[in-house]
Structure 1
Amino acid sequence: MDTLESLPSLETARKLGLLPEEFDRIAEILGRRPNFTELSIFSVMWSEHCSYKNSIVWLKTLPRDSDRMLAKAGEENAGLVDIGDGLACSFKIESHNHPSALEPYQGAATGVGGINRDIFTMGARPIAQLNSLRFGDLSLPKTKRLLRGVVKGIGDYGNAFGIPTVGGELFFDDCYNTNPLVNAFSAGIVEVGKSAKATSYGVGNPVFIVGSATGKDGIHGATFASEDISAASTDKLPAVQVGDPFMEKLLLEASLEIIATGYVIGIQDMGAAGIICSTSEMSAKGEHGMIIDLDKVPTRQPNMAPFEILLSESQERMLVVIEKGKEHIIQGIFDKWDLNCAQIGEVTPKGEHDLGRLHFYRNGELVADVPAYDLVLGGGAPVYHREYKEPAYIKEYAKFNIDDVDDIEHEDIKEIAEHLLSHPNICSRKWVYEQYDSMVGTGNRSTNAPSDAAVVRVKGPGIPETEKSIVITVDCNSRYVNANPRIGAKIAVAEACRNIVCSGGEPLAVTNNLNFGNPYVPEVYWHFVEAVQGMGEACLRFSTPVTGGNVSFYNQSSDDGPVFPTPTIGMLGLMENPAHQMTLDFKNEGDLIYLIGQSTNDIASSEYLYSFLDIKASPAPYFEFDDEWHVQEGIKTMIRNGWLLSAHDVSDGGLFVTLAESAMAGNKGFQIVSDDRHRLDSFLFGESQSRVVVTVPAEHKQTIEGYLHDTIMPFMFLGTVMDSSPAFVVDNTQVMTLAEAKILYDNSLGNIMA
């Protein structure tokens, strides 16, 4: 151990991201001043990224319980939800924002690797991936470079790993110029009762590190993710990890095989903060300690310092605790897969005055002695109640009056439609998804059957046969959240539910990725508090409890300020019967087109208002829980009764874009009449919520309208699907042909990136 004279100072603690009061608290916990290794340990474990010290008081307010929940929210590597037939779905979303801002390819690739490890350390085999991406002004060379790198990183890692990327979202705004957001979602399947836990207990049980060797990449990655991006951030490129998808594939198979033996006490991915995070969290949960010999950790570079070994975030590594006497079994499995498998320590009992200590040795010398419980979230890690206040702009946005904006004429529709269909926030993501393998594993039911959410059959090696499918989506319109965080977060949950319902599924549960600016800025923290409360209200109303997720603060820079508050919702739904699958494409000439739900005179925060008219200050669009619930229940009933041929929710771009997307997906046209009770711009391009476009065969006209009248469901008959000479016609005025629309929609993003 270090001498008193060599012990680090308060200034060193500050450089490691610790507050003065936290430095004092560490000395109080240890009963002495920490040495540098111990101070480094506390700095990463008490970073926002690991401890959630500025967010946990509000996260605890989210609804977390349902009959289907098989793991306590936030207490395991990922959420676990019972989907019936003796099967469970493990799913989670996490960010890799800061690494992707500096090194987009590896930042995105290792984000994909990390989220999949969270799934298979639960004992679940990953079957599908999604991603939610945010970038700045696409006319900037920097933004194009970031987008190229991130998309290639996701594609290369996911394709090589062999898990299909089945959907996602992509959004552009100047607020993301410095801080892109890269959120990765993964879902996997495990038999109920065969999942693994992230825990450690049993005195004398051996502790193994398995997978890749430990290098100097990613050191202090957790603290790097807990500070604002600045010009100096490029000096921290070593904090960005480097991934190897082929190694991850081997690690997947080996991990599932050792879990299947039944000899695994606990297993945890080494993500943020590496060895120290896994040893402390597993020990604290199991109320035991560990003794770890760092000399036995396989390393890539010679003479690595103790803190480097402990804090490294080298990828494709796990910490595993197994039953004593079964060492040869785990060693044999990892030898078969040609992976490192080294016993580095053993489990120790809890002490008389603590729940378990971690003792780390290097070259035979004790280099760190720390209590596991005091390092972790829910234990001794600090918890703060931050100051918050409403930003002044919120009241200014609320002053927006639609009457101050002139309504459009029919001759204006074409120009607006061309703008929206070619806008990067709306146009086809073909340039992106063609770089992803969406069919590997042959479980994707959406590739040739487009729908609002991804539908993935529950199948794969070792998964019992079933007809069930999971229905998954990621959703958040951050412009809405910026305009009104509480309403915007409610809309994000509601739209995720709506997308699952329109695809034929039943919403079950939520994982979230909460992307915000600096929590020490009161206005930013107000965004966070309001968004969490709105999300909680919505999850409670739609019976979709939160299984866990990720908080990413410090998405902020001195040049651009904070990003829009972006609470991304990853939602899991279930489709029991494949006959219930519903697609969004128009099917036949003469099919009837209906708008389900109530339109309002509302263009607030719409893409039309924001980018076409360049009016940035407006509130979130209209949303009401009762309306949303009523519409979703009606859509479920109509799908189950077999009355619908297509369903597509009205979202970005409004009704016209919804109709165009369904028409283009089916190579059809449409002819509709507008609603003379509302302004034309709001009817066609407004984004008021809780609306769905459906098509039905002409012979079901009386049945559908009878049901809608009986249930007092707001609806409007819009018109019919066109097949011969397909075009988009509004009030007998041809806006554009199908061919013209597809050229704009399909090629705009690719043309920009070319």
Structure 2
Amino acid sequence: MTKHFLEPEELALLESRLKRKPTEIEEAIIFSLWSEHCSYKSSKIHLKKLPTKSDKVVIGPGENAGVIDIGDGYVAVFKMESHNHPSYIDPYNGAATGVGGILRDVFTMGARPVLNMDALFFGTLNHPKTPYLLDGVVRGVGDYGNCVGVPTASGQTMFLDCYNNNILVNAFTLGIAKKEKIFLSIAKTVGADVIYVGSKTGKDGIHGATMASSSFDEESIKNRPTVQIGDPFTEKLLIEACLEVMDKSLIEAIQDMGAAGLTSSAFEMVEKGGLGVELYLDNVPLRESMTPLEIMLSESQERMLIIAEPKNSKEILDIFKKWSLDATIIGKVIKDKKVVLYYKNDIVGEFELDLIEAPVYDRKYKKPAYIDKINKEIELEAPDDLSSKLLSLISSPNLCDKSPIFEQYDSTVQTNTLKGPEGDACAIAVKQTGMAVFASTSVNPIYCYLDPYNGSAIAVLESYRNIIASGGDPIAITDCLNFGNPQNPEIMWQFVQSIEGIKDTCAKLNTPVVSGNVSLYNETTSQNIFPTPTIAMVGVSNMQDVLKSQFQFANNTIVLLNDIELNLGASQYLYWFYNKIDGKVPDPKVKLHLSLKKFFDIAHKKHRLIISAKDISMGGLACCLASMCENNIGCDIKININSNPHEFLFSESQANIIIEIKNQDFDAIESIAYESGINAYRLGFTTEEKRLKINDLINVSIDDIKKAKSSTLRKILS
């Protein structure tokens, strides 16, 4: 009796197309290909709304990674993906193989990886599993990236109780390639060899794609064999071998064996080319005895599939063997649009590609009931001691010093890092051109829960602010859209609203979406995560344009760009001191961001008037100033506050950046601000005294700031 993998409705659809019952191997393979992870069947119709083109976009969505032009014949190749479910089941290996997988997505395009980032979301620190999960994930990310030799130079980490039983691990990689040396995953030539390269195949990761497309329950949490096991040293060899055969132009197409393993890579490559393939599963290098189904669905790591003309095959095999990697011909490209699986001279599976296209769902959605219950007017009593409030707030898990995490990552390997994890955006030198590539990742799940449209818009805008405040010109984004169960109409409403927010904001900023990932069913025992549309933005500029995020010199002027919007709704202040997730999300202010970009182009790039800069985000003005003081330069702020001081200091107002300039340049800055359509206010001055002073409201030492920020995570990750 055939074991059924598909739900009854999808099984009936498949049977109607085949006009017969599928065999067990056929159904299991279709089960993987039709999973959310592989097919995007619940999100595809909405993803098509996103802007994907600009004069800088070379390749948009549809390939392994997006590609943008960075000048002088070079391109940046980048993508972000999730490895959420595996990292909860097995935090070390789940996170490590998440890094390995996104690295392969980039170097399979012909790019040498030069930058990693991560976005990590955990439950509260007092949850019994959080220390274990945090430790395992951080070690997994660090060990894999460090061993491969790619710097992890930026990222974000947040802690909220909605992630207590469903953590998120989002990994980003960026690589650099010559524009004429980009490789795609499209099979083009009938009779071409299909070549398996990399590690041997084992039983780890079988049904990993379908596990990642399902909600968690108590049983699935124990499902450790579906988590892949990575080997970063083999990955390093694989990078070098792949780049060598690419440099010699020996291959026609190449694809990572990622989710669903050999199945997805083989099917996708020939389907894109309108061709078919015969696979001889006896030839697949194995670590252990395996059935044809296990061979097809294994997600063993560090494996690639290459298509090449037969005249080049021997040289390709020789190169991979030189790098101590397995390499063997396992199939042929055929004219008929089908996939035929052979095992011991028997056909064990045959798939007409026209018949197995995944269904696309236009799922119902409705506004959640909680949205109408949000209190848009948050009024809080003014505290007596704002100094102690500041120190407490910056010690909170979401605002504390994250160096116990990023110190485990090598952020300077390859010697290209111009700005590392200490800033809001990182910057990597492209030494071949004298340019710098900037990258930043951001999302505030509290905003996205309370207002998915504006919260998603702000995620785009914060990355945009981070890049311009670091001296870069934002160009494009990749996203990792983490949501709960799409079969719940209220969750689907969150997703649709988020897509609309990203779409509208990216269109106005001219920062299209060139790649990305959707992770649904982030639900455990009916508890869904908050909407978490992680945005990673990439920009470019000259190396000399890179700005520091902390004060650099005493006796300089501190300037606030744009007015502070007074609103403690949705803030970390409200969450930390009152344990409330409520209130109106800040106004995104898209037009003011465009004006900020114009201001930095003139004040910084043209006239070199800005010494350091940092955007205001979580924690508001006071927390931003505290971070800028961490270079042991103090500040003395004297400004009229015509409202409750705690609102001015801790509101998470958007489109605000604090800059450091020379005293004599304020008039010029004020004039450029007016010309750019923004306001500029002199806040005060940097000082030799190592203290943060704000009127007579706050007076704390930099040592106390550092002590408050550093103790929270150090205790857990010691």
| 1:172 and 2:152 matched | no
Partner of 1:347: 333
Q: Which amino acid aligns with 2:669?
A: I
Mapping of 1:408-557 within 5 angstroms?
A: 408=383, 411-447=384-420, 450-459=422-431, 465-557=432-524
Mapping of 1:648-727 within 5 angstroms?
A: 648-664=614-630, 666-724=631-689, 726-727=690-691
Partner of 1:3: none
Partner of 1:462: none
| 1:602 and 2:589 matched | no
- Measure, in 2, the Cα distance between the counterparts of 1:348 and 1:307: 22
| 1:182 and 2:155 matched | no
Q: Deviations 1:572-615 (Å, cap 9, x if unpaired)?
A: 1001x222111111122221111101212211111001111223
Deviation at 1:734, TM superposition (A): 4.7
| 1:268 and 2:255 matched | yes
Question: Are 1:509 and 1:545, in contact at CA under 8 Å, matched by a contact in 2?
Answer: yes
Question: Are 1:451 and 1:582, in contact at CA under 8 Å, matched by a contact in 2?
Answer: no
Q: Which amino acid aligns with 1:556?
A: E
Deviation at 1:733, TM superposition (A): 4.6
- Measure, in 2, the Cα distance between the counterparts of 1:110 and 1:706: 51
Deviation at 1:674, TM superposition (A): 4.0
Deviation at 1:324, TM superposition (A): 1.8
Question: Are 1:283 and 1:372, in contact at CA under 8 Å, matched by a contact in 2?
Answer: no
Mapping of 1:78-89 within 5 angstroms?
A: 78-89=65-76
Residue aligned with 1:480, SS:
helix
Residue aligned with 1:342, SS:
strand
1:226 aligned to which of 186, 189, 213: 213
Q: Deviations 1:621-642 (Å, cap 9, x if unpaired)?
A: 2222222222232233221121
1:382 aligned to which of 359, 365, 372: 359
Partner of 1:405: 380
Q: Which amino acid aligns with 2:497?
A: E
Residue aligned with 2:693, SS:
strand
- Measure, in 1, the Cα distance between the counterparts of 2:222 and 2:670: 64
Question: Are 1:94 and 1:550, in contact at CA under 8 Å, matched by a contact in 2?
Answer: yes
- Measure, in 1, the Cα distance between the counterparts of 2:672 and 2:188: 58
Deviation at 1:396, TM superposition (A): 1.4
Partner of 1:35: 23
Question: Are 2:456 and 2:498, in contact at CA under 8 Å, matched by a contact in 1?
Answer: yes
Shift in CA distance, 30/595, structure 1 to aligned 2, threshold 3 Å: same
Residue aligned with 1:719, SS:
strand
| 1:320 and 2:306 matched | yes
Q: Deviations 1:224-255 (Å, cap 9, x if unpaired)?
A: 00111110013421110000000000000111
Q: Which amino acid aligns with 1:53?
A: K
Residue aligned with 2:538, SS:
strand
Question: Are 1:727 and 1:734, in contact at CA under 8 Å, matched by a contact in 2?
Answer: no
Residue aligned with 2:413, SS:
coil
Range with greater deviation from structure 2 (169-178 or 261-270): 261-270
Q: Which amino acid aligns with 1:699?
A: Q
Q: Which amino acid aligns with 1:554?
A: Y
Deviation at 1:681, TM superposition (A): 1.4
Q: Which amino acid aligns with 2:405?
A: V
Partner of 1:67: 55
Shift in CA distance, 310/407, structure 1 to aligned 2, threshold 3 Å: same
- Measure, in 2, the Cα distance between the counterparts of 1:430 and 1:291: 51
Partner of 1:353: none
- Measure, in 1, the Cα distance between the counterparts of 2:525 and 2:446: 21
Partner of 1:394: 371
Q: Which amino acid aligns with 2:332?
A: E
Question: Are 2:411 and 2:420, in contact at CA under 8 Å, matched by a contact in 1?
Answer: yes
Partner of 1:49: 37
Question: Are 1:30 and 1:370, in contact at CA under 8 Å, matched by a contact in 2?
Answer: no
Q: Deviations 1:197-234 (Å, cap 9, x if unpaired)?
A: 11112111110111001110000001000111110013
| 1:216 and 2:180 matched | no
Deviation at 1:373, TM superposition (A): 4.5
Residue aligned with 1:70, SS:
strand
TM-score with structure 2 setting the length: 0.98
Range with greater deviation from structure 2 (362-371 or 111-120): 362-371
Partner of 2:600: 635
Range with greater deviation from structure 2 (420-429 or 272-281): 420-429
Partner of 1:245: 232
Residue aligned with 1:705, SS:
helix
Deviation at 1:712, TM superposition (A): 4.2
- Measure, in 1, the Cα distance between the counterparts of 2:587 and 2:506: 19
Deviation at 1:680, TM superposition (A): 1.1
Q: Deviations 1:715-745 (Å, cap 9, x if unpaired)?
A: 3211111113x21111135521111111111
Mapping of 1:605-624 within 5 angstroms?
A: 605-624=570-589
Partner of 2:284: 297
Identity rate of aligned residues, in percent?
40
- Measure, in 2, the Cα distance between the counterparts of 1:423 and 1:52: 37
Q: Which amino acid aligns with 2:319?
A: I
Question: Are 1:46 and 1:381, in contact at CA under 8 Å, matched by a contact in 2?
Answer: yes
Partner of 2:323: 337
- Measure, in 1, the Cα distance between the counterparts of 2:667 and 2:376: 41
- Measure, in 2, the Cα distance between the counterparts of 1:753 and 1:89: 34
1:571 aligned to which of 527, 537, 545: 537
Question: Are 1:248 and 1:316, in contact at CA under 8 Å, matched by a contact in 2?
Answer: yes
Deviation at 1:71, TM superposition (A): 1.5
| 1:372 and 2:353 matched | yes
Question: Are 2:60 and 2:514, in contact at CA under 8 Å, matched by a contact in 1?
Answer: yes
CA RMSD of superposed structures (Å): 1.4
Mapping of 1:94-133 within 5 angstroms?
A: 94-133=81-120
Residue aligned with 1:231, SS:
coil
| 1:20 and 2:1 matched | no
Q: Which amino acid aligns with 2:619?
A: G
Range with greater deviation from structure 2 (587-596 or 522-531): 587-596
Q: Deviations 1:539-575 (Å, cap 9, x if unpaired)?
A: 101101111110000111126x111100000111001
Unaligned runs of 5+ in 1: 1-5, 351-355, 460-464
Q: Deviations 1:351-397 (Å, cap 9, x if unpaired)?
A: xxxxx10000111111100023544xxxx211000011111111211
- Measure, in 1, the Cα distance between the counterparts of 2:590 and 2:468: 15
Mapping of 1:575-590 within 5 angstroms?
A: 575=541, 577-590=542-555
- Measure, in 2, the Cα distance between the counterparts of 1:401 and 1:458: 48
Q: Which amino acid aligns with 1:401?
A: E
- Measure, in 1, the Cα distance between the counterparts of 2:146 and 2:676: 47
Question: Are 2:477 and 2:538, in contact at CA under 8 Å, matched by a contact in 1?
Answer: yes
Shift in CA distance, 477/36, structure 1 to aligned 2, threshold 3 Å: same
Question: Are 1:603 and 1:688, in contact at CA under 8 Å, matched by a contact in 2?
Answer: no
1:626 aligned to which of 591, 600, 615: 591
TM-score with structure 1 setting the length: 0.93
Deviation at 1:261, TM superposition (A): 1.9
Give the total of aligned pairs. 717
- Measure, in 2, the Cα distance between the counterparts of 1:617 and 1:584: 30
- Measure, in 2, the Cα distance between the counterparts of 1:91 and 1:707: 34
Range with greater deviation from structure 2 (598-607 or 498-507): 598-607
Question: Are 2:596 and 2:676, in contact at CA under 8 Å, matched by a contact in 1?
Answer: no
Shift in CA distance, 314/732, structure 1 to aligned 2, threshold 3 Å: same
